[in-house]
Copies of this chain bind each other. A is one copy, B any other.
Amino acid sequence: MTASVSTPALIALDWGTTSLRAYLLGADGLALDTRASSAGIMNLPAGGFDQAFEETCGAWLDAHAHLPVIAAGMVGSAQGWVEAPYVETPANADALVAGIVDVKTARGVVLHVVPGVLERGVLPNVMRGEETQIFGALASEPALGNAGGALIGLPGTHAKWAFVADERIERFYTFMTGETFSALRDHTILGRTMHPTATHDEQAFLRGVDTARDAGHPGMLATIFSTRTLGLTGQLSAEQQSDYLSGLLIGHELRGLNEVLTREQSALAGKPLRLIGNDALCNRYRAALARFGCHGAATVAHATEHGLYGIAALAGLVAARRAA
């Protein structure tokens, strides 16, 4: 919970596949109260979306019946509460506002659902929820939206890297880094020689990053096998193998991104760059980015709340409350 003298102005939901985070935001956009639940859209209680919504936001609405409610994330997917069709790149905040789809809850409150973003092309890409966080980052630091452009990374199960410029999401990539790491660790021979530990072995992690970054190998399907063979040859302990593999995969992600930039006469080292995500993971990425010459990749705090508040304000939801 965050103390604030502000009065409640908005209920903002980050409603994903496996979790639901709710924020009671004041007129200044700061959180007055927060709720977290495991009621993601694939993990709903018996009463479905309405029940999850009541359990999370019911008390707030009992106290403040007419608060506007906005949501982003998988809740707007085809498997969500209501489908908010994707907005296509390049996408600015106005396009997201224009794409908002409403659904009426059992309580009679309207839930305003922000659409995701789709990039068409040979390798199509989709995001739901991250677009809102990205506009939250631009709200916190408007210079990121300049014409020169910036890169915003959102590490995780499906890591996203978005190119932003002119206050728009120009294009983005999805890297299945987190999910591939789990699948390799838990369901291939690589996991069999690993000994899990609670501590992060920075040296093993960076060794993995450096191995992926350096040119003299034939790609990720080959480098990952070294997790095993460095163990077999006594060069990597069982306790180090998990962090080494993590470094390899994050290193391959950043190498791939850097190669795209290089083809555009740019580089990770020369780009304004921000991270959005949990601290431990952002710290890993920051350490890995430094190996590519990229420093100053700060983590954006409260990107989700800022993004939801900003879109609600642009949609007139918060202004309407203020006027009420």
Interfacial residues, chain A to chain B (CB-CB below 8 A): 118, 120, 122-126, 158, 161, 173-177, 179-180, 182-184, 186-190, 211, 215-226, 229-230, 232-233, 235, 249, 252-253, 255-257, 259-260, 263
Contacts and interface: CB of A to CB of B under 8 A. Distances in A.
Contact of A176 (B221, B232, B252): B221
Given A124-B233, A233-B120, A175 B215 contact: no
Contact of A184 (B123, B125, B180): B180
A255 B260 CA distance: 16
Contact of A215 (B176, B187, B252, B263): B263
Identical chains bound together, number:
2
A180 B123 contact: no
A255 B221 CA distance: 11
A182 B221 CA distance: 13
Contacts of A120: 233
A232 B188 contact: no
A253 B225 CA distance: 13
Nearest to A17: B189
Nearest to A220: B220
Contacts of A259: 218-219
